[in-house]
Structure 1
């Protein structure tokens, strides 16, 4: 297979994978929604979860997106320096989004800022968003796909705290965001919290936190404790499914962090809705693939 044939094959693989993630939620999300549905005891909460489950069933059976807002596509690309298509990757990812938009189909959500027109392809200036991580001495492509919808993006917020605010300040910031905008993001939510030395570092950590499986924990025991405390605190707000009240407001809270300047605490929140359309797929140098987010899928 020559390089052009490889490009075509990988483009089709990614297009089909993106289309699939628009219709079928990741295994861990489905499992968590089923768990929360069992734990809720109010008739309204039970009915909402039954409706969510029916929505997922029909989306798969009818081959249609599970939510009308299919978001703006974002990719986190962990690419080995020896992956054979590293130079072609950015262009082919855009082409894959165009194909997925036509095939799935996906709602047209890429609007050119300031010019205010919809491109009709889900690509535009800087979209899809591609966050690059280069992995030395590797020939694999580790790819995360994510549909950033309007509602789940609305609570996104970042700021830099004075050091004296401490981790209590981080907690207050997260809870302030959740009590102000969590209702708009279609609970139960997956909440990503980033902590670092500046707003852009913290914001990127918060986005990457949404790529982690539900139920995973930060390897730092203090950060893992903060995850649990924030989860308990946000649940006590009582948003419940779709914000109509209930015992559980979140599917989980994931904290990602890096070292920081001693004079500042950068903190950010990024949120995934109940229809958390995250995908994770790994390609080797021969384009053999392994799908880690969804079971039983053949592209």
Structure 2
């Protein structure tokens, strides 16, 4: 077997094991944020739910089983260096990794072929797992955001291109309309990703990318960062609370990603992550040594 194939097999094995970990253990920032929200809560029902969430995570770790029965449709954000030695064949290696993780975790079979309407039974299918590609010129490493996008938290995903006169106020109104209509069903407290830009496809991509940022991080743009704070406060005021049963906190945070736009176009999109926000980040160097950026202390 050539060195190339040996390397790709190692990537497949490592990503499969990491995906299994992501299915049962929340990233450190999410766990920390949920703990903080629980300490700030006063309603008895909400406190009981947060306690149940904590026990759920403990049992998932002890039993090595997914923390939620809906292990989602797998999406991977791939940032690969142009000099990464295993770039050829990487796409297939990642698909094989999800097939292996399906048995290892195990992951629920969630990949249904559109139009043909059959479940592949492997979580691998037409453009599934969905891979978002970003080539980093001059680098020789590989970084992956592995995300298990559950059905409940995917349902609120929406986008709209606004008329110019609606402005940023229109974007805020759109986000709030989505939250008041669908936030209840997405297993709050939610991480809300918002994308704002010049086209609906760009806005949708950025809203999903925003969910890969650490919980309660802030945009580098000061105006967007303030809007994140304002939207968090506004959504919290709805009173959804954990699991939508009432409470003072409805979201873990709001993350906004933006791009430049056409003068007469303002597109906005929303995607959400549920309280069990199962995403993880792993980085490989050119020799395939790996570092887990979201799950400290875990060895694969």
Scaled by the length of structure 1, the TM-score of the pair is 0.99
Report the equivalent of 2:282: 281
Within 5 Å, which residues of 2 pair with 1:198-277? 198-277=199-278
Aligned equivalents of 2:262, 2:122: Cα separation in 1: 41
Report the equivalent of 2:9: 8
Within 5 Å, which residues of 2 pair with 1:48-67? 48-67=49-68
Report the equivalent of 1:43: 44
Report the equivalent of 1:17: 18
Report the equivalent of 1:31: 32
SS at match of 1:192: strand
Aligned equivalents of 1:41, 1:228: Cα separation in 2: 22
Q: CA deviation at 1:82?
A: 0.5
Report the equivalent of 1:91: 92
Scaled by the length of structure 2, the TM-score of the pair is 0.99
Say if 2:95 is the partner of 1:112.
no
Aligned equivalents of 1:42, 1:158: Cα separation in 2: 33
Aligned equivalents of 1:123, 1:101: Cα separation in 2: 9
Q: CA deviation at 1:223?
A: 0.3
Q: CA deviation at 1:290?
A: 1.0
Aligned equivalents of 1:9, 1:124: Cα separation in 2: 22
| 1:129-157 C-alpha deviation (Å, 9 max, x unpaired) | 00000111110101100001000000000
Q: CA deviation at 1:70?
A: 0.2
Aligned equivalents of 1:220, 1:35: Cα separation in 2: 26
Aligned equivalents of 2:197, 2:80: Cα separation in 1: 24
| 1:141-198 C-alpha deviation (Å, 9 max, x unpaired) | 0110000100000000011001111110010000000000001100000000000111
Aligned equivalents of 1:158, 1:239: Cα separation in 2: 22
SS at match of 2:120: coil
Report the equivalent of 2:102: 101
Report the equivalent of 2:76: 75
- Please, what is the CA RMSD of the aligned residues? 0.7
Aligned equivalents of 1:154, 1:128: Cα separation in 2: 18
Aligned equivalents of 2:88, 2:171: Cα separation in 1: 40
SS at match of 2:113: coil
Report the equivalent of 1:183: 184
SS at match of 1:210: helix
Q: CA deviation at 1:7?
A: 1.1
SS at match of 1:143: strand
The ranges of structure 1 where at least 4 consecutive aligned residues each deviate by more than 3 angstroms after the TM superposition are: none
Aligned equivalents of 2:268, 2:208: Cα separation in 1: 12
Q: CA deviation at 1:216?
A: 1.0
SS at match of 1:270: strand
Aligned equivalents of 1:197, 1:42: Cα separation in 2: 42
Aligned equivalents of 2:277, 2:164: Cα separation in 1: 33
| 1:214-269 C-alpha deviation (Å, 9 max, x unpaired) | 12110000000100000000000000000000000000000000000010101000
| 1:25-77 C-alpha deviation (Å, 9 max, x unpaired) | 00000000011111110110010000000000000000000000000000000
